[in-house]
Amino acid sequence: MRFLGRPVYYLAVAVFLAGAALLRVADPFPVQAIRLLAFDLYQRMAPAEALPEHPVLIVDIDEASLKAVGQWPWPRTVLADLARKLAEAGAASIAFDVLFSEPDQSSPEEVVKRLPPEQATLVAASIGDAPTHDRVFADALAATPSVLGLSLSGSGAPLPPLKAGFATAGDDPRPFIANFAGAIANVPVLDEAAKGIGSINWLQDRDQIVRRVPLVFRVGDALVPSLAAEALRVAQDAGSYILKGSNASGEAAFGRETGLNHVRIGALVVPTDADGAIWLRFRPSDPEGFVSAKDVLDGSIPAHLMEGRIALVGTSAAGLLDLRATPLDSAVPGVEIHAQVIEHILTGRSLTRPDFSSGVEIAVIVGLGLLLALILPHVSAVAAAILGALAVGGILVGGFLAYLRLGLLFDPFYPALAIILLVIGSVLYTFRQAERARAGIRRAFQHYVAPAVVDEIIADPSRLELGGEMRELTLLFCDVRNFTTLAEGMSATELTGFINELMAPLSEIILNHRGTIDKYMGDAVMAFWNAPLDDPDHARHALEAAEAMMAAMAGLNAGWQRAAAERGRAMPEVRIGIGINTGACCVGNLGTAQRFDYSAIGDEVNIASRLEQLTKDYGLGIIVGEATARAAGKVGLVEIDRIQVRGRSGMSRIFTLAPPDAEPDFAEAQRAFAAALPELDPSIWRSALYRAKSAAPARFARYYHFMLERLSARGVFEGQSAPHITIDL
């Protein structure tokens, strides 16, 4: 498997996924922030809808009310009047999102305390036994379904007597519930009179946005309901709460203590988190849910507007600083959040983050990450990007659908971020490996094939089959004639320079004609065509390269002779011989794991080498095998002889390039001579030979002299077929 070929990659993937999972388990604030950002986005995309029947109405101490009644705080006689009128209008419960922790400073007895002694005596006498404002308000609270708030804190006075009891089913949930040291309560006379007392506290996240609201708090071992929960309890005239914890009847926890599961408020059963909080699915602020306190006090609210509804008394006035941020709004009155909690419960909305959510998110990261890690190295960068986008899109869509359809909160952002980083890392790794492969290919082939061919291999490495394959090649061998004689007159330095000067232009010609240089052998070079890339015209390209190599020798010789003349030395003409053959060969990286060459082997390679050696006998610069002539269409080629390859039946024709400076009828005369070679009658082939020789350029004279000597051999005159040359493989 390719898995074994990428141990570092898969080790890096394993480390990354393990790190991502551990970071999710540790859950530092940045991870939490990413999760909360996702949940906020859900709410903005699909907020809850406002309820047309408005089961909760906010009695708003708004700017208009402050202008009509006076600045805050109002006399508690006004609040007593407000409570009575709400009760008379049919409110099911009246909850005050206001703390009355100090006596009413506008009450006469409090005013007396701030007067000079002589004035205090006069005023006190006029007051007599009149009730205090707090007593007036307390009487109103006692006569109405009222709920007061208290504020829990890290320090403070003990709790006042609470109005409701708590029953617990299953494991004790107290260790999971938010704990406070004390409370800031109302003046005792008010707390004693109220039908309910609930906490107005929030559990804001570090970004100061309210997303979760507890229904129950704890001060030591005492349990304290929230203001919203108390408003619901009083509205139902219920006496207590039932807390269902882990391992209660119907609550499966497999023996583990996992905190709260449900809170029962009268007839309402509310699913909660382990700490007794609920995730609110917020709706946009709805002005229709507000009633001005001024309108309640002056009796201008519509008849039966409050009938059966819960009234929450609070303020939207900016100067009273009771504003909170939610996922939908940067600033809403705190009392409206209490109202949305009650609506959330009454409508049976369910928005929970289940206990197994973290496990699901980690499973998505690890499972999907491993799947992508196995696939991505085998696909292109574009395909990897598409797969990564599909994976991330699936996570995001899945998380949103879970929120929208099931009311479940799963974090899509952290798994999506982990997958994005994994995909980026995998693509970078693949890109780096591809670059390494390209660099390796370029290093391996830049000295043997043309730059354009190297670029083609890099663009599509699949076209390069390494390790050895059988394919048809056209092979070229080039060797220097009489190299030993040339070398005897040169020093080692001069000989090295000569070889370099010779091989550089010849190699460039081969590369420019899409050839691959197999090896250099002293004064010889071997090249082939049609590997590593397919070249349908490999035979023609090899012939064109050979012709260009022969043409280049004129310029090279002129340069060498000029340089030699400047040194006062003689430089003989350097001639080369080229043999070309076509056939099936094994080509690829041949050798051992420690050292190998990209090379070709096979009988056809040996034949090409022998054809190069035959150029010495025939006195020709280029000899081409029959298969090459056939593959090239014989254009520009003329047959020169027929040879016997030992081990093969039948004769093989050999060719050379027709010289451009020959007479017009040379090609036809040479073909006639070649056709006459098998004839027994010397008069036939001798006549054809002289006709071809007369049309050929002078440099072909050695070839015709060689053929005349061979064809005039003894065997012809003894009535045998014309003698032929045999080459060994």
Separation CA 320–CA 721 (nearest Å) = 125
C-alpha–C-alpha distance, residues 159 and 181, integer Å = 10
**Residues 480-505: what's their mean pLDDT?**
88
Distance CA 42, CA 280 (A): 12
Place 204 in a pLDDT band, splitting at 50, 70 and 90.
confident
Kindly give, in sequence order, each residue whose CB lies less than 8 Å from that of residue 475, ignoring residues fewer than 6 positions away. Answer: 526, 527, 528, 529, 542, 580, 581, 582, 583, 585, 600, 604, 605, 608
Report the C-alpha gap between 605 and 496 in whole angstroms. 27
Residues 363-379 have a mean pLDDT of 87
Each residue of 623-675: pLDDT tens digit? 999 999 999 987 789 999 988 887 777 788 999 998 888 888 888 888 888 88
Is the CB of residue 183 less than 8 Å from the CB of residue 153?
A: yes
Burial 295-326 (b: 16+ CB within 10 A, else e): bbbeeebeeebbeebbbbbbbbbeebebbbbb
**pLDDT tens digit sequence for 14-62:** 898 898 889 888 888 888 888 888 888 888 888 888 777 889 999 999 9
Q: Which pLDDT score is estimated for 385?
A: 86
> For the segment 461-481, what is each residue's pLDDT rounded down to a tens digit?
655 545 678 999 999 999 999
How many Cβ atoms sit within 10 Å of the Cβ of residue 641?
A: 25
The reply to whether CATH 3.30.390.50 applies to domain 450-657 is no
Q: How far apart are CA 5 and CA 650, in angstroms?
A: 50
DSSP code at position 406: I
Which residue ranges make up each domain of the chain?
Answer: 2-44+354-440, 49-346, 450-657
Q: What is the pLDDT of residues 526-566, one digit of tens each?
A: 999 998 888 999 999 999 999 999 999 999 999 999 988 88
What's the burial of 7, exposed, middle or buried (CB within 10 Å: 0-12/13-18/19+)?
Answer: exposed
Q: Which tens digit of pLDDT belongs to each residue from 287-335?
A: 888 999 999 999 888 878 889 999 999 988 876 767 888 888 888 888 9
Burial of 93 per CB tally in 10 Å (0-12, 13-18, 19+): buried
CA distance 58 to 592: 87
